[in-house]
A and B are shown apart, each in its own frame.
Chain A
């Protein structure tokens, strides 16, 4: 798994690439926490290059969403692959997260 963070004006964009499972999810959790710690409340997690996400990854996303919401921000997702979208749906998280087809729409939604 690779994580790239792009700091924009009002939004932190986190680009995730590869496999998010129990061994890599903590790293995603740290990247999200770092953004939230440094005062970013609005985060977009781009999942376009994620080919695999287990519940360990979902847990990190939910934890970050809870943190962001308490400070009036949000964590929004963009461009999940068909498989990741299925996992989000089966876990009931498609109604918890705002999910956008692409990065531009997700970033622009803030």
Chain B
């Protein structure tokens, strides 16, 4: 089940901190790092300021509805107002490195939103402006702790699974759960990034093989990448290098998984 959160507040500046706090909590729940959370907050602040200032043309005219959809490594923010139609093409791009006289402070908010977020999309339908913004987190293996398993949609339909630490009898059931959940949600093109795996036992191998089998049955695959040399040796010893497609480089594994979706 995706984590969906709603907030509706009156369109006035004093409510903006409530909105940015709400978005900050959602972005944190998505596992985004501090600077990425801040970017989401800045973007939604700018968006709501524009709504009050331009769509409503003043404070206390209408409401602002904010919805956050939280997935591992991704925060989608949807902002709806019932004000005047907003046409983003009517806002000129601010001229960076412009002379002081040429600076038009009006375009800065929208420009910052585009800088801070991975996607920014405006729609106007049935008298409502809907702004959709997406922030994808950068996976930083160093920030993860032993036992963490990061999951994210790295390409459309391709999911990366990034376990950290030991894949032994104690840790492997968690990996099984993560993989089972992905299959349940219909994702079967998986790339397991092994960069941060320090040790793998037969129990860990079993998790990966059963996932591989399941994915293949459904026409997908589990590709492995970036195995530390001592982990690779384990795969070699048990003959699993002939079972799995193993890439030294995760980008190559992702490209392969991506091409299989076509």
List residues of chain A with CB under 8 Å of any chain B CB: 19, 21-23, 52, 54-56, 58-59, 62-63, 65-66, 69, 83, 87, 90-93, 95-96
Residues of A within 8 Å of B115, CB to CB, are 90
In the complex, A66→B52 CA distance in Å? 26
Residues of B within 8 Å of A63, CB to CB, are 105
Who on chain A is nearest to B49 by CB?
A: A22
In the complex, A95→B96 CA distance in Å? 9
Taken residue by residue from 39 to 59, chain B's Cβ proximity to chain A (1 for < 8 Å, 0 otherwise) reads as 001100110010011000000
Residues of A within 8 Å of B97, CB to CB, are 92, 95
Q: Can you give 9 A-B contacts (C-beta < 8 A)? A: A21-B13, A54-B42, A55-B105, A62-B100, A66-B100, A83-B35, A90-B116, A91-B94, A91-B108
B22 proximal to A (CB < 8 A): no
In the complex, A73→B111 CA distance in Å? 29
B98 proximal to A (CB < 8 A): yes
Which 3 pairs between the two chains have the least Cβ-Cβ distance?
A: A92-B96, A23-B13, A59-B105
Q: Are B112 and A55 in contact (CB under 8 A)?
A: yes
In the complex, A91→B116 CA distance in Å? 11
Partner of B42, one of A23, A66, A87: A87
List residues of chain B with CB under 8 Å of any chain A CB: 13-14, 16-17, 20, 35, 38, 41-42, 45-46, 49, 52-53, 94-98, 100-101, 103, 105, 108-109, 111-112, 115-116
Q: Are B95 and A56 in contact (CB under 8 A)?
A: no
Residues of B within 8 Å of A54, CB to CB, are 42, 45-46, 49, 109, 112
- For residue B107, give the distance in angstroms from its CB to the closest CB of chain A: 9
- For residue B71, give the distance in angstroms from its CB to the closest CB of chain A: 25
Partner of B45, one of A22, A65, A90, A96: A22
In the complex, A19→B18 CA distance in Å? 13
- For residue B206, give the distance in angstroms from its CB to the closest CB of chain A: 45
In the complex, A96→B52 CA distance in Å? 28
Q: Are B49 and A92 in contact (CB under 8 A)?
A: no
Q: Are A96 and B112 in contact (CB under 8 A)?
A: no
Q: Are A91 and B49 in contact (CB under 8 A)?
A: no
Q: Are B49 and A62 in contact (CB under 8 A)?
A: no
